[in-house]
Amino acid sequence: MKILYLMRHAKSSWNFDGLSDKERPLNNRGRTDAPQMGQALAARNLQLDLLVSSPAVRALSTAALVAKELNYPPERIQVLDGVYEADLDRLVGLVQELPDEANSVLLVGHNPTITDTVNYLSPSAVHEMTTAAVVCLHFQTDRWADVHRHNAELYFVDSPKNHED
């Protein structure tokens, strides 16, 4: 079985004129939501083989904050440039190119592509992924090249809203 966690980066800041889109950092809410979602994943006893992130500062920061909560070594985060501006076909292609020795993978990326990819791979529809939301899909296959909605199960959808006091 392959387990894929697709996560939209946490809330980013628009307060820095002169920064490129790729350089935008997390805002205060994002810096709170990302570790909170990492804790929620840790509470599910998540054991990651691989954490993949877009190179955008907001995505990589989200990945690093989640990794810390999961005791996943930050130096093992794999940054894939293609995630940043990927469309649906490219992101699905990146998933299908994941190494087969990794059975459990978290990929941190951007909307609208994360939501599109979830809905392409999931047998059940998921509304728009909010910032820091995570979807878990289980695939009945031993090869990432074979992941498809026909061998998928939507295991859970989680977001920071589910963890508010």
Question: Is 2 marked within a binding site?
Answer: no
Question: Is 14 marked within a binding site?
Answer: yes
CA-based nearest residue to 67, from 77, 58, 57, 59:
77
Question: Is 9 marked within a binding site?
Answer: yes
Question: Is 13 marked within a binding site?
Answer: yes
Average pLDDT, the chain: 96
Burial of 146 (0-12, 13-18, 19+ CB in 10 A): middle
Question: Is 15 marked within a binding site?
Answer: yes
Number of domains in the chain: 1
Residue 117, domain CATH:
3.40.50.1240
Domain that holds residue 104: 2-163
- Say whether pLDDT at 58 is over 70: yes
Place of tokens 């939209």: 8
pLDDT in tens, 97-122: 999 999 999 999 999 999 999 999 99
pTM to 2 decimals?
0.96
Question: Is 11 marked within a binding site?
Answer: yes
Compute the average pLDDT of residues 35-54: 97
CA–CA gap between residue 91 and residue 102 (Å, rounded):
17
Question: Is 122 marked within a binding site?
Answer: no
